[in-house]
Amino acid sequence: MSEAGDGTLLSDRIRNALTDEIASGVLAAGTSLDEQHLADRFGASRTPVREALRQLAVSGLVEMRPRRGVLVTRLTSARMMDMFETIAEVETLCVRLATYRMTPLERCRLSDLHEASKALVAARDLDGYESFNRDFHGSLYAATHNGFMAEQALAIRSRLDVFRRTQLRHEGRMAASHEEHGQVLAAIAEGDGELAARRMRAHMLNAASALGRYIADTVEG
């Protein structure tokens, strides 16, 4: 055995590292990525770096212009709104399905998760809440018992993580998020999928709204 990270492939490790750096904002949108430079940085040759970049291009995190290099995808505000609307609708869809399909155990686990998050809100633990939030929504995807849909939802969501963190910074947003989660859970408990769906959509739109100014300030349309 000789695992260094998750995948034993260099290109996978590089891809994961770059994914994190893009998602966390370390690699800002528009940054051009030089293959040789990255190779040096990771102590590898250009080959695995190129493979990683190709993969990132498919997931849409970077843009490759043939023979002109690769840059971190720069999102227009219109496209960001499109992405937010899409994930909002997909989450809405997932919650509706999850309401009708989740097992008692899953419902219980989700409820526990939600309860535990109360402490994070009180402690104003941004990182902790962000992590919980991912779990919360991820649990709902899983509860659709549709693996493919869950994957799609996760993939879209991960592309918005950069901004999600920022959103929680807004005054009172964390507490509001917690409250909205509670409303969704209540609807699920009643077995009312449509209500849960509507509340989830509202929750997502609130999160998006909290970002409105940020987006306007940061990205040129």
- Binders of DNA in range 144-163 (CB under 7 A): none
| Range in contact with its own copies (rule: CB under 8 A) among 22-30, 83-91, 195-203, 205-213 | 83-91
Nearer to its own copies, 120 or 207 (CB): 207
Rounded distance between C-alpha atoms, residue 144 and residue 130, angstroms: 22
| Range in contact with its own copies (rule: CB under 8 A) among 80-88, 103-111, 184-192, 208-216 | 80-88
Q: Is 22 within 8 Å of 75 (Cβ atoms)?
A: no
User: Shortest CA distance to 143 belongs to which of 175, 187, 188?
Assistant: 188
- Binders of DNA in range 24-43 (CB under 7 A): 33-36, 43
Q: Tell me the three-class secondary structure of 9-64, residue by residue.
A: CHHHHHHHHHHHHHHCCCCCCCCEECHHHHHHHCCCCHHHHHHHHHHHHHHCCEEE
- Binders of its own copies in range 182-201 (CB under 8 A): none
Q: Residue 33 — φ and ψ, nearest 5°? A: -105, 115
| Range in contact with its own copies (rule: CB under 8 A) among 25-33, 86-94, 108-116, 168-176 | 86-94
Rounded distance between C-alpha atoms, residue 147 and residue 46, angstroms: 35
User: Shortest CA distance to 68 belongs to which of 35, 38, 25, 28?
Assistant: 35
86 near its own copies, judged by CB under 8 A:
yes
- Binders of its own copies in range 114-153 (CB under 8 A): 146-149, 152
Q: Which residues bind its own copies (CB under 8 A)?
A: 7-9, 11-12, 47, 50-51, 54-55, 57-59, 66-67, 79, 82-83, 85-86, 89, 93, 97, 146-149, 152, 156
